[in-house]
Structure 1
């Protein structure tokens, strides 16, 4: 569950946009780690079996499966010019209503204290929105920097 998504990403990643897609994936990863750490520390959910036992979060989900899925979704949607938020809602729904129930069935994920799938969906979708906003901000700043650089040359 950790290695396979990374291998798929290696072969499917659009090399011409590797920095943009990679930065987007990194933003999703960082947001996921923050939310996962907060959720486990406050007792909303837990991972009984972990790949890295000293970490409170699911290393497999937050470091591989989720970022890779969102990166491939972003790459595919941006080529097809399909609305990003529909795709983000779809990927969020797959993780919330398919992946997490499988993890619960396998006893690899548990929810507590009134936490439910709707709240989890909001978390995933909000993370996708924030990740895209962070990416868009950095793309904008990079374009501004290029414009300033061109003006200085002229």
Structure 2
């Protein structure tokens, strides 16, 4: 191998042991439990709901916002688990440390529906604030109570401003992208 540092090799070996332990824990303690089935439902049901009620005329902009949210939630969840801020005892898949259904379904679908139904900034901010309150102080504690989410160095109230700020930023970003697209579409 080309100049592979000893410390990197040691990390790969530890990662291998960790992955084996995670796979074993998932097979014996998670797969087909009621928590696992809840995760399956949380991954599928939001997308079915979304498909039934999404405004097809605004599909591109709504999906753009949702994909920004999905990517950011996944990245932030990876960061939080890597920094050991929280832990998920039950996972849909053993290879992802994230709470996959929340990052890939619940959060993006919720943000997309808020974006779709609350067109003015005023109503959007109110809906976003209510959603952030519900997610931070009801959904997260419920997942904690059910044993599916364990905060290690995190507090529920840390999540609240993050939910709100992400929603504000992604709406602003989508509007900027739409404005640029409109400007260049009109010029051609």
Tell me the TM-score normalized by structure 2.
Answer: 0.74
Q: 2:162 aligns with which of 112, 123, 131?
A: 123
**Shift, 1:81, TM fit:** 7.1
Kindly report structure 1 stretches of 4+ aligned residues shifted beyond 4 Å.
none
User: Structure 2: any 5+ residue segments left out of the alignment?
Assistant: 1-41
User: Structure 1: any 5+ residue segments left out of the alignment?
Assistant: 150-154
1:57 is paired with a residue whose SS is: coil
Q: After superposition, where does 1:24-103 map in structure 2 within 5 Å?
A: 24-78=65-119, 82-103=122-143
How far apart are the structure 2 equivalents of 1:23 and 1:66? Answer: 14
Please provide the CA RMSD for this pair: 1.4
Q: Tell me which of the two structures has the higher relative contact order, counting C-alpha pairs closer than 8 angstroms and 6 or more residues apart.
A: 1
**Shift, 1:94, TM fit:** 1.2
Rg (Cα) greater in structure: 2
Q: Does 1:133 align with 2:172?
A: yes
Cα distance change, pair 50–86 in 1 and its aligned pair in 2 (3 A): same
Tell me how many residue pairs correspond in the alignment.
147
